[in-house]
C-alpha cells in the first residue's frame, strides 16, 4: 500500500474526502514556497502537489502561470522542486509532483523517478502525458515505487477512462471541466457525472480538480469524490499577499476553510 493509498483509506474511514493542495515550487521563492506548503499541511491539507515550473503550461490558467513565471525568472529548476518535495516530506506530509512531460524527459525519466522517490515524493501527476504514450514513465515509476496519476475529462470515452484507470496508481485525477485551471463561481455539473463513470470501471480513488476555491464548493465535490484538488485559489492568496508571512497565513487560512468543507460533504444548510 502506497502512502497515497494510506491517505485515502484514512479519509474514507473518517467519512470524508481528502484535501489535495497545490502550489508551484519556487514561488514566492524556494524557501517561501516550502514554508507555504508546510503551513497548508499544518492547517489541514492531506496531500500536497508540488508544481514543477514549466515555460509552456498548457493546462494552467493565468493565476498559476503568473506564479510559475516568477519562479522560472527566479531560477527554479527541477533540483529545486525535488528539494521542496524533500522538505515537505520531512514534515510527515504526503507530497507528489505535478509536472508536464518535457521537463521529466529532459531530466531523464529513470533519474527523475528515482530522485523523486529518494526525496520522499509519493507520485507524479502528468497532465499532458496519456497512458498509451507513457510506457517509459510507467516502467520507471513502478521500479522506483512512485505512483502514476493520470487525468480524465468529461470528454473522455468510457474506453479511455478504463485505459487511464488501469495505468494510474494512487488516485485518478478527474478534471471537472474542459479548459485550464482557475477559480470559478460554481463547480461544473459535469464533474459528478464524470466521477460516476470512473467508478463504473475502477475502485481507484477519484479526486476532482479545476475550479474549487471555497468551503462550500469543497463540500459539494466531497459529497461524490474521494479527493478535492485546489490550486489556483491557494496561488491567488500568495499573489495577493503583501509579503511572505502574510501569504503563509493566507494559504493556511484557506486550507483550514477547505478542510472544514471536505468534512462537511454536501451543500450548505
The grid coordinates of residue 125 equal: 501527476
> Which residues are paired to 125 by β-bridges?
98, 149
Closest Cα to residue 18, out of 170, 192, 237? 170
**Candidate list 6, 31, 46, 49, residue with the active-site label:** 49
Count of other CB atoms within 10 angstroms of residue 110: 15
**What's 17's DSSP letter?**
P
| H helix and E strand count, the chain | 12, 9
Burial (CB count within 10 angstroms: exposed 0-12, middle 13-18, buried 19+), residue 135: exposed
Closest Cα to residue 222, out of 44, 43, 41, 16? 16
> Which residues are paired to 98 by β-bridges?
51, 125
**What's 131's DSSP letter?**
G
Active site residue 60: yes
Q: What whole-number distance in Å separates Cα of residue 153 and Cα of residue 92?
A: 31
Active site residue 159: no
Active site residue ranges: 49, 60
Amino acid at each position: 500500500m502506497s502512502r497515497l493509498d494510506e491517505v485515502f483509506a484514512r479519509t474514507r474511514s473518517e467519512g470524508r474526502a481528502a484535501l489535495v493542495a497545490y502550489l508551484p515550487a519556487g514561488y514566492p521563492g524556494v524557501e517561501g514556497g516550502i514554508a507555504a506548503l508546510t503551513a497548508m499541511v499544518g492547517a489541514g491539507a492531506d496531500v500536497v502537489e508540488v508544481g514543477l515550473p514549466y515555460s509552456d503550461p498548457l493546462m494552467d490558467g493565468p493565476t498559476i502561470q503568473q506564479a510559475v513565471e516568477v519562479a522560472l525568472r527566479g531560477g527554479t529548476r527541477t533540483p529545486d522542486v525535488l528539494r521542496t518535495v524533500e522538505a515537505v516530506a520531512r514534515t510527515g506530509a504526503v507530497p507528489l509532483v505535478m509536472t508536464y512531460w518535457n521537463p521529466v524527459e529532459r531530466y531523464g525519466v529513470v533519474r527523475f523517478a528515482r530522485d523523486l522517490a529518494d526525496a520522499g515524493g509519493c507520485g507524479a501527476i502528468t497532465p499532458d502525458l496519456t497512458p498509451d504514450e507513457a510506457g517509459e514513465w510507467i516502467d520507471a515509476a513502478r521500479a522506483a515505487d512512485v505512483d502514476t496519476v493520470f487525468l480524465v475529462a468529461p470528454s473522455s470515452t468510457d474506453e479511455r477512462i478504463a485505459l487511464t484507470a488501469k495505468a494510474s496508481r494512487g488516485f485518478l485525477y478527474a478534471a471537472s471541466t474542459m479548459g485550464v485551471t482557475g477559480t470559478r463561481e460554481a463547480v461544473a455539473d459535469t464533474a459528478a457525472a464524470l466521477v460516476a463513470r470512473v467508478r463504473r470501471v475502477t475502485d481507484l480513488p477519484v479526486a476532482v480538480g479545476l475550479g474549487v476555491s471555497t468551503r462550500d464548493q469543497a463540500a459539494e465535490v466531497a459529497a461524490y469524490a474521494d479527493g478535492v484538488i485546489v490550486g489556483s485559489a491557494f496561488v491567488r492568496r500568495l499573489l495577493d499577499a503583501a509579503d511572505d508571512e502574510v501569504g503563509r497565513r493566507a494559504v493556511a487560512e484557506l486550507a483550514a476553510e477547505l478542510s472544514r468543507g471536505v468534512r462537511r460533504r454536501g451543500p450548505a444548510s
